[in-house]
Structure 1
Amino acid sequence: MDFIKVTVDERISHIYLDRGKSNAVDQQMLDELRQAIAAAQDDQAVEGIILHGKEGFFSAGLDLVALYGYDEAEVRRFWVTFMDVISALVSFDKPAVAAIGGHSPAAGCVLAICCDCRVMANGDYIIGLNEIPVGIIVPESIFLLYSFWLGQAAASRYLLEGKLFKPKEAFEAGLVDEVVDGKSIRTAAERQLRKYTQYERNTWRQSKRNIRRALIAAFESDQQETIDAVLKQWWSPATRSILKTVIDNLKK
């Protein structure tokens, strides 16, 4: 795999996002991540996963530069795969921890909130869902995932304003579970994971499935209508204009 690196250490699968400086998500990265999640789920020797980014960036979210150039079939395939990956992470019944070593807006935040626990590095970093300001519709299933951790009222307010949190703000809001020095993030993530793996395996995993039953059902339902709405907005002149401005700023 080119953009996802996996190491297994003491029955923990460490899945590293490794695409460029900012770990922006494109089609290939999603394909590889889906493969890594499935492998960890199927491997009886793996007790849980830790999802890592890089120092400074967990993931900057969607690679808007790449996606802007996709044709209609490619964009549809991307969104179908994206929803499949999120569904796989939401339904992953072993313990999962996100080690957020830096910025984690938009799709980066979505990947993190699929996990059971989030440990974030302290620093001048941001995390949150800011899709609306860039003209991207947030699917209902992803709102349910956001509100699973923040509560519906808070999630609604933060989503509609595109709120991005600093690490300590994210901790206070309940979006992350611990804020640590960046050099300690792997150790902290492993410690959090061991809190889960100490319990009887089947009891813990079935309880997780029960707790997430509504979430899992939301992602396993037919996403066609949701994706159609996202794509309709994606190709609208208003959103294309916003994306073009964002991309021009990124290139500068």
Structure 2
Amino acid sequence: MFLLRQAVSNARQLAPSVRAMSSKGPLVDLTVDNDGVAIMTLQRPPVNSLNLDLLKEISKSLDDVAKNKSRGMILTSSSPTVFSAGLDIMEMYKPDMKRAEEFWTTLQDVWFKLYGSSFATAAAINGHAPAGGCLLSMSCE
């Protein structure tokens, strides 16, 4: 038990501004600092194209930020040259109708959550953001 306490204490000294709330999915990394500012990082290589799985994780992360009563959120990308390339074209190529409906409903849900959030949102655009990437960034403040 002593070793666990010591490890936690050392970690807090190394990163004092990072709060305990953190979730890392395969496609979205969400951290919240001590000031209540969340950072949501898109990480779907190579260009963060928006497929159903990524949109679901963004939606869940937005719910987590709202539940945590964060003061604000910064939406950014793990890619140094592309914020988001937009909608994943494979979601629309020979789509299964049920999946296509879920895709468009989830996209609209993400857009409404970003645009109508009770917390301040900002997009840190670190590269190209055409089409759906532009939609995400323009939904922020």
TM-score by length of 1: 0.44
Task: State the 1:41 CA deviation.
Answer: 1.1
Q: Does 1:4 align with 2:31?
A: no
Q: Which amino acid aligns with 2:140?
A: C
> 1:114 maps to what in 2?
139
Per-residue Cα deviation, 1:209-235 (whole angstroms, up to 9, x for no partner): xxxxxxxxxxxxxxxxxxxxxxxxxxx
Task: State the 1:20 CA deviation.
Answer: 0.9
What's the secondary structure of 2:87's corresponding residue? coil
Structure 2 unaligned regions, length at least 5: 1-24
Matches within 5 A, 1:27-66: 27-44=52-69, 46-53=70-77, 54-66=79-91
Determine which structure has the larger strand proportion and give its number: 2
> 1:89 maps to what in 2?
114
Quote the Cα distance in structure 1 between the aligned partners of 2:29 and 2:66.
16
Quote the Cα distance in structure 1 between the aligned partners of 2:92 and 2:40.
24
Structure 1 unaligned regions, length at least 5: 117-252
Matches within 5 A, 1:5-24: 5-9=29-33, 10-24=35-49
Q: Which amino acid aligns with 1:103?
A: H
Task: State the 1:8 CA deviation.
Answer: 1.2
**Quick one: percent identity of the two aligned structures?**
31
* Greater RCO structure (CA 8 Å; 6+ sep): 2
Determine which structure has the larger helix proportion and give its number: 1
TM-score by length of 2: 0.78
- Deviating above 3 A after TM superposition, structure 1's stretches of 4 or more consecutive aligned residues are none
Aligned CA-pair RMSD: 1.1
Preserved CA contact (<8 Å) 2:91 2:100:
no
